Amino acid sequence: MMMLLLDIGNTNLRWALARSEDAFEVEVARHSGAVPLDVLARWEVLDPPSRLIVGNVGGAAVGESVRRVAHAYWGLEPEFVSVRAAWRDLRIAYADPSRLGVDRWLALIEAHASVDGAVLIVDAGTAVTYDLILGDGRHLGGSILPGIEMMRSSLLAGTQIPRIESEPSGRSWATDTGSAIAAGSVQAVAALADRLFEHLAHEAGAEPSMLLSGGDADRIASAIQAPCEMVPDLVLRGLARVVRELS
Protein backbone atom coordinates (compact mmCIF):
# COMPACT_ATOMS: atom_id res chain seq x y z
CA MET A 1 0.00 0.00 0.00
CA MET A 2 1.41 3.38 -1.01
CA MET A 3 0.36 6.44 0.96
CA LEU A 4 0.92 10.08 0.11
CA LEU A 5 1.85 11.97 3.27
CA LEU A 6 1.39 15.73 3.27
CA ASP A 7 2.55 18.31 5.83
CA ILE A 8 1.08 21.75 5.06
CA GLY A 9 2.92 24.43 7.00
CA ASN A 10 2.44 28.19 7.11
CA THR A 11 4.72 28.68 4.11
CA ASN A 12 5.81 25.32 2.73
CA LEU A 13 4.18 22.10 1.67
CA ARG A 14 6.20 18.96 2.42
CA TRP A 15 5.20 15.64 0.96
CA ALA A 16 6.46 12.11 0.63
CA LEU A 17 5.37 8.78 -0.73
CA ALA A 18 5.48 6.21 2.04
CA ARG A 19 6.13 2.80 0.52
CA SER A 20 7.55 1.36 3.75
CA GLU A 21 7.53 2.27 7.42
CA ASP A 22 10.75 4.25 7.51
CA ALA A 23 11.97 4.92 3.98
CA PHE A 24 10.64 7.92 2.13
CA GLU A 25 12.05 10.94 0.38
CA VAL A 26 10.67 14.36 1.26
CA GLU A 27 9.94 17.04 -1.33
CA VAL A 28 9.31 20.68 -0.39
CA ALA A 29 7.60 23.58 -2.18
CA ARG A 30 6.17 26.98 -1.18
CA HIS A 31 2.40 26.76 -1.39
CA SER A 32 1.08 30.38 -1.33
CA GLY A 33 -2.35 29.12 -0.30
CA ALA A 34 -2.76 26.44 -2.99
CA VAL A 35 -1.03 23.38 -4.42
CA PRO A 36 1.84 24.88 -6.48
CA LEU A 37 2.29 24.11 -10.14
CA ASP A 38 5.52 22.15 -9.74
CA VAL A 39 3.83 19.86 -7.21
CA LEU A 40 0.83 19.43 -9.52
CA ALA A 41 3.19 18.36 -12.29
CA ARG A 42 4.85 15.79 -10.03
CA TRP A 43 1.57 14.43 -8.69
CA GLU A 44 0.07 14.10 -12.17
CA VAL A 45 2.53 11.36 -13.09
CA LEU A 46 2.43 9.44 -9.79
CA ASP A 47 1.03 5.98 -9.50
CA PRO A 48 -2.26 6.61 -7.68
CA PRO A 49 -1.75 6.43 -3.91
CA SER A 50 -4.16 4.33 -1.86
CA ARG A 51 -4.53 7.04 0.79
CA LEU A 52 -3.71 10.75 1.18
CA ILE A 53 -2.97 11.68 4.81
CA VAL A 54 -2.66 15.38 5.66
CA GLY A 55 -1.54 17.50 8.58
CA ASN A 56 -2.52 21.11 7.90
CA VAL A 57 -1.61 24.32 9.74
CA GLY A 58 -1.46 26.34 6.51
CA GLY A 59 -5.13 27.31 6.42
CA ALA A 60 -8.42 26.28 4.87
CA ALA A 61 -7.62 27.54 1.36
CA VAL A 62 -4.65 25.26 0.78
CA GLY A 63 -6.51 22.38 2.43
CA GLU A 64 -9.40 22.83 0.01
CA SER A 65 -6.95 23.05 -2.90
CA VAL A 66 -5.46 19.69 -1.86
CA ARG A 67 -8.97 18.22 -1.63
CA ARG A 68 -9.87 19.31 -5.17
CA VAL A 69 -6.63 17.99 -6.64
CA ALA A 70 -6.97 14.64 -4.85
CA HIS A 71 -10.50 14.22 -6.19
CA ALA A 72 -9.47 15.16 -9.74
CA TYR A 73 -6.28 13.08 -9.92
CA TRP A 74 -7.05 9.96 -7.91
CA GLY A 75 -10.68 10.07 -6.77
CA LEU A 76 -9.42 10.20 -3.18
CA GLU A 77 -10.79 12.02 -0.16
CA PRO A 78 -7.86 13.43 1.87
CA GLU A 79 -7.73 12.33 5.50
CA PHE A 80 -6.90 15.34 7.69
CA VAL A 81 -5.51 14.38 11.10
CA SER A 82 -6.34 16.40 14.20
CA VAL A 83 -4.78 16.75 17.63
CA ARG A 84 -5.82 14.44 20.46
CA ALA A 85 -5.30 15.21 24.14
CA ALA A 86 -3.79 11.75 24.64
CA TRP A 87 -2.09 9.36 22.24
CA ARG A 88 -0.77 6.12 23.71
CA ASP A 89 1.16 7.46 26.74
CA LEU A 90 1.68 10.94 25.24
CA ARG A 91 -0.40 13.56 27.08
CA ILE A 92 -0.69 17.10 25.73
CA ALA A 93 -0.23 19.96 28.21
CA TYR A 94 -2.74 22.29 26.55
CA ALA A 95 -6.12 22.56 28.29
CA ASP A 96 -7.65 22.92 24.81
CA PRO A 97 -5.71 20.49 22.56
CA SER A 98 -7.18 22.06 19.41
CA ARG A 99 -5.02 25.13 20.07
CA LEU A 100 -1.86 23.08 19.59
CA GLY A 101 -0.76 22.94 15.96
CA VAL A 102 -1.16 19.49 14.46
CA ASP A 103 2.43 19.70 13.18
CA ARG A 104 3.69 20.11 16.74
CA TRP A 105 1.54 17.18 17.88
CA LEU A 106 2.87 14.92 15.13
CA ALA A 107 6.44 15.92 15.97
CA LEU A 108 5.79 15.08 19.64
CA ILE A 109 4.42 11.65 18.70
CA GLU A 110 7.47 10.78 16.61
CA ALA A 111 9.98 12.21 19.08
CA HIS A 112 8.49 10.33 22.03
CA ALA A 113 8.25 7.07 20.08
CA SER A 114 11.76 7.19 18.61
CA VAL A 115 13.87 8.71 21.42
CA ASP A 116 14.36 7.41 24.96
CA GLY A 117 13.99 10.00 27.71
CA ALA A 118 13.09 13.67 27.63
CA VAL A 119 13.16 15.55 24.33
CA LEU A 120 13.21 19.19 23.27
CA ILE A 121 11.78 19.66 19.76
CA VAL A 122 12.77 22.79 17.85
CA ASP A 123 10.92 23.35 14.58
CA ALA A 124 12.38 26.37 12.78
CA GLY A 125 10.15 27.64 10.01
CA THR A 126 7.98 30.72 9.48
CA ALA A 127 7.67 30.60 13.26
CA VAL A 128 10.01 28.71 15.56
CA THR A 129 8.22 26.35 17.92
CA TYR A 130 9.75 24.66 20.95
CA ASP A 131 8.10 21.71 22.70
CA LEU A 132 9.31 19.90 25.79
CA ILE A 133 8.34 16.32 26.61
CA LEU A 134 9.42 14.03 29.44
CA GLY A 135 10.32 10.40 28.96
CA ASP A 136 7.01 9.24 30.44
CA GLY A 137 5.10 11.03 27.67
CA ARG A 138 4.14 14.12 29.62
CA HIS A 139 4.20 17.21 27.40
CA LEU A 140 5.30 20.17 29.51
CA GLY A 141 4.30 22.81 26.95
CA GLY A 142 6.40 25.02 24.73
CA SER A 143 7.41 28.42 23.41
CA ILE A 144 7.06 30.19 20.07
CA LEU A 145 9.25 32.84 18.46
CA PRO A 146 9.00 34.57 15.09
CA GLY A 147 11.07 32.71 12.52
CA ILE A 148 14.43 34.07 11.37
CA GLU A 149 13.05 35.84 8.29
CA MET A 150 10.02 37.19 10.14
CA MET A 151 12.25 38.50 12.92
CA ARG A 152 14.49 40.29 10.44
CA SER A 153 11.60 41.67 8.40
CA SER A 154 9.76 43.05 11.43
CA LEU A 155 12.89 44.87 12.59
CA LEU A 156 13.52 46.37 9.16
CA ALA A 157 9.86 47.37 8.80
CA GLY A 158 9.98 49.32 12.07
CA THR A 159 13.25 51.14 11.42
CA GLN A 160 15.06 53.07 8.70
CA ILE A 161 17.67 50.34 8.32
CA PRO A 162 17.98 49.33 4.66
CA ARG A 163 17.60 45.66 3.84
CA ILE A 164 20.97 44.06 3.24
CA GLU A 165 20.94 40.38 2.44
CA SER A 166 23.52 38.91 4.75
CA GLU A 167 24.12 35.74 6.70
CA PRO A 168 26.05 35.37 9.96
CA SER A 169 29.74 34.66 9.69
CA GLY A 170 29.61 32.00 12.41
CA ARG A 171 30.33 34.41 15.26
CA SER A 172 27.75 35.71 17.73
CA TRP A 173 28.36 39.32 16.70
CA ALA A 174 29.05 41.30 13.55
CA THR A 175 30.84 44.45 12.38
CA ASP A 176 28.15 45.86 10.08
CA THR A 177 24.42 46.42 10.52
CA GLY A 178 23.10 43.87 8.04
CA SER A 179 25.25 41.11 9.47
CA ALA A 180 24.36 42.16 13.00
CA ILE A 181 20.65 41.73 12.27
CA ALA A 182 21.33 38.37 10.65
CA ALA A 183 23.45 37.22 13.60
CA GLY A 184 20.94 38.48 16.16
CA SER A 185 18.00 36.61 14.64
CA VAL A 186 19.91 33.32 14.55
CA GLN A 187 21.38 33.77 18.03
CA ALA A 188 17.97 34.58 19.55
CA VAL A 189 16.48 31.35 18.23
CA ALA A 190 19.52 29.31 19.28
CA ALA A 191 19.76 30.91 22.74
CA LEU A 192 16.18 29.97 23.62
CA ALA A 193 16.86 26.42 22.47
CA ASP A 194 19.85 26.20 24.81
CA ARG A 195 17.93 27.76 27.70
CA LEU A 196 14.98 25.38 27.33
CA PHE A 197 17.39 22.45 27.02
CA GLU A 198 18.86 23.39 30.43
CA HIS A 199 15.41 23.72 31.99
CA LEU A 200 14.31 20.39 30.57
CA ALA A 201 17.46 18.70 31.89
CA HIS A 202 16.65 20.05 35.36
CA GLU A 203 13.01 18.92 35.10
CA ALA A 204 13.93 15.45 33.82
CA GLY A 205 16.90 14.91 36.13
CA ALA A 206 19.01 13.81 33.15
CA GLU A 207 20.33 15.27 29.92
CA PRO A 208 17.55 15.34 27.32
CA SER A 209 17.78 15.00 23.56
CA MET A 210 17.17 17.90 21.18
CA LEU A 211 15.67 17.38 17.73
CA LEU A 212 15.83 20.10 15.08
CA SER A 213 13.37 20.26 12.20
CA GLY A 214 11.94 22.82 9.80
CA GLY A 215 13.31 24.75 6.84
CA ASP A 216 15.71 26.86 8.89
CA ALA A 217 17.06 24.06 11.09
CA ASP A 218 20.42 24.06 9.33
CA ARG A 219 20.74 27.84 9.85
CA ILE A 220 20.52 27.55 13.64
CA ALA A 221 22.24 24.21 14.27
CA SER A 222 25.78 25.61 14.46
CA ALA A 223 24.68 28.38 16.86
CA ILE A 224 23.18 25.96 19.40
CA GLN A 225 25.60 24.92 22.14
CA ALA A 226 23.72 21.84 23.38
CA PRO A 227 23.95 18.55 21.48
CA CYS A 228 21.22 18.31 18.85
CA GLU A 229 20.13 16.10 15.98
CA MET A 230 18.66 17.20 12.65
CA VAL A 231 15.45 15.36 11.71
CA PRO A 232 14.06 17.28 8.71
CA ASP A 233 11.12 14.90 8.16
CA LEU A 234 10.04 14.70 11.82
CA VAL A 235 6.43 15.79 11.20
CA LEU A 236 5.96 13.44 8.24
CA ARG A 237 7.39 10.57 10.27
CA GLY A 238 4.89 11.36 13.01
CA LEU A 239 2.13 11.41 10.42
CA ALA A 240 3.20 8.00 9.10
CA ARG A 241 3.31 6.63 12.64
CA VAL A 242 -0.20 7.83 13.44
CA VAL A 243 -1.53 6.19 10.27
CA ARG A 244 0.20 2.88 11.04
CA GLU A 245 -1.14 2.79 14.58
CA LEU A 246 -4.68 3.62 13.49
CA SER A 247 -4.72 1.06 10.68
Active site residues: 103
128 is in an annotated binding site: no
Beta bridge partners of 139: 133
104 is in an annotated binding site: yes
14 is in an annotated binding site: yes
129 is in an annotated binding site: no
As a whole number of angstroms, the distance between CA 223 and CA 194 comes to: 10
SS3 for 46-92 is CCCCCEEEEEECCCHHHHHHHHHHHHHHHCCCCEECCCCCEECCEEC
7 is in an annotated binding site: yes
10 is in an annotated binding site: yes
SS3 123: strand
233 is in an annotated binding site: no
As a whole number of angstroms, the distance between CA 59 and CA 70 comes to: 17
103 is in an annotated binding site: yes
Give me Rg for the CA atoms of the chain: 19
Annotated binding site for ATP: 7-14, 126
Annotated binding site for substrate: 94, 101-104, 177
Annotated binding site for K(+): 123
Annotated binding site: 7-14, 94, 101-104, 123, 126, 177
